[in-house]
């Protein structure tokens, strides 16, 4: 059984004026997501600025999310690193904290071979009992997990169950699902490709858009999976301008700005990320207004 079906939110990590984690605001964001029918919370992913959290903060944010969600929906913990030992440590601690599953990004900067990727992910998965979802985002990591490697991992490692695919390469993803034989749970890592990946057998999306439009993103998936393909496709198309605005600068800069425009007060970003360029804000505001969330 899949860890979740539908739209999981790649949740931002809110900071206070001193750039410390704002746990009171994090609790509010979690409730906003649950009430908005989000199907899973993904804590400490790229959108959650995990790369700028200390290990202690990283684990505490996961623990806090598990506590506040209280079993209502799955909590998936981002625990990837370009150091295998670090990823193992974070994964073991996330399991202890009560996470339902892990999202593990490919090691960045090192640019491992496919053999190295297999051994990296296997070592992490062997250290825990909960399910592991691979995360392929070569535009950020410089490393592409090829279809054969994904299928081999999902076949040979019992608790590696699927992949968040953010390569944007539909041909590669189609090849993956051709080879998968039902052994790979596929999640879109791009909000502008939810329906295309559902059409290839995907289970849903791990979404940035869900931060500001949880119900709409959930409904794109739910309608498709209920057989209302034309309606779901139109909802996907309606969201395209907003998806574009949310990625006009590097994620999570625009989505944090969007949440602040909505009055959610999630704070600023940790360096090296900076506030959204003023020239791009009108585009984001316009897209949010046209989508009906501002």
Token pair 């490919």: residue? 106
269 touches 51 (CB < 8 A): no
Are 137 and 163 in contact, with CB atoms under 8 Å apart? no
Q: What is the distance between the alpha carbons of residues 178 and 218, in angstroms, rounded to a whole number?
A: 26
* Furthest C-alpha separation in the chain: 49
Question: Which three-class secondary structure state does DSSP give residue 156?
Answer: helix
**Given the residues 25, 68, 135, 291, the one annotated as active site:** 135
Whether residue 10 contacts residue 46, with contact meaning beta carbons closer than 8 Å, is answered with yes
DSSP 8-state class, residue 280: G
Q: State how far Cα 24 lies from the chain centre.
A: 22
Return the structure tokens found at 183.
């052994």
Buried b (16+ CB within 10 A) or exposed e, 190-199: bbbbbbbbbb
Residue 164 falls in the annotated catalytic set? yes
What contacts 278, CB < 8 A, 6 or more positions away? none
Residue 109 bears catalytic tag: no
Please name the residues in contact with 169: beta carbons below 8 A apart, sequence gap of 6 or more.
Answer: none
CB 280 within 8 A of CB 248: yes
CA distances (Å), origin 285, targets 54, 191, 261, 294: 33, 18, 8, 7
Of 10, 9, 15, 3, the closest CA to residue 264 belongs to 15
What residues act catalytically?
A: 135, 164
């Amino acid at each position: 059984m899949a860890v979740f079906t539908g739209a999981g939110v790649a949740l931002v990590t809110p900071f206070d004026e001193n750039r410390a984690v704002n746990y009171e605001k994090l609790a509010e964001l979690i409730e906003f997501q649950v009430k908005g029918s989000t199907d899973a919370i993904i804590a400490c992913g790229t959108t959650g600025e995990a790369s700028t959290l200390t290990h202690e903060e990283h684990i505490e944010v996961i623990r806090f999310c598990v506590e506040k969600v209280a079993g209502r929906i799955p909590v998936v913990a981002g625990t990837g690193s370009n150091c295998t030992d670090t990823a193992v440590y974070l994964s073991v601690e996330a399991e202890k904290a009560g996470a339902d599953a892990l999202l593990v990004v490919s090691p960045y900067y090192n640019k491992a071979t496919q053999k190295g990727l297999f051994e990296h992910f296997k070592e992490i998965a062997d250290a825990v009992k909960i399910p592991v979802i691979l995360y392929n985002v070569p535009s950020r990591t410089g490393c592409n997990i090829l279809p054969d490697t994904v299928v081999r991992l999902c076949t040979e490692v019992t608790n590696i169950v699927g992949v968040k695919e953010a390569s944007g390469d539909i041909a590669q993803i189609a090849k993956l699902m051709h080879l998968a034989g039902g052994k790979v749970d596929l999640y879109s890592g791009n909000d502008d490709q939810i329906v295309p990946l559902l059409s290839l057998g995907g289970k849903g999306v791990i979404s940035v858009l869900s931060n500001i439009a949880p119900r709409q993103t959930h409904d794109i998936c739910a309608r498709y999976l209920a057989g209302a393909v034309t309606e779901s496709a139109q909802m996907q198309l309606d969201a395209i301008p907003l998806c574009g605005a949310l990625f006009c600068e590097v994620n999570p800069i625009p989505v944090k700005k969007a949440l602040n425009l909505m009055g959610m007060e999630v704070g600023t970003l940790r360096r090296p990320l900076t506030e959204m360029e003023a020239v791009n804000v009108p585009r984001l505001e316009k897209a949010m207004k046209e989508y009906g969330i501002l």
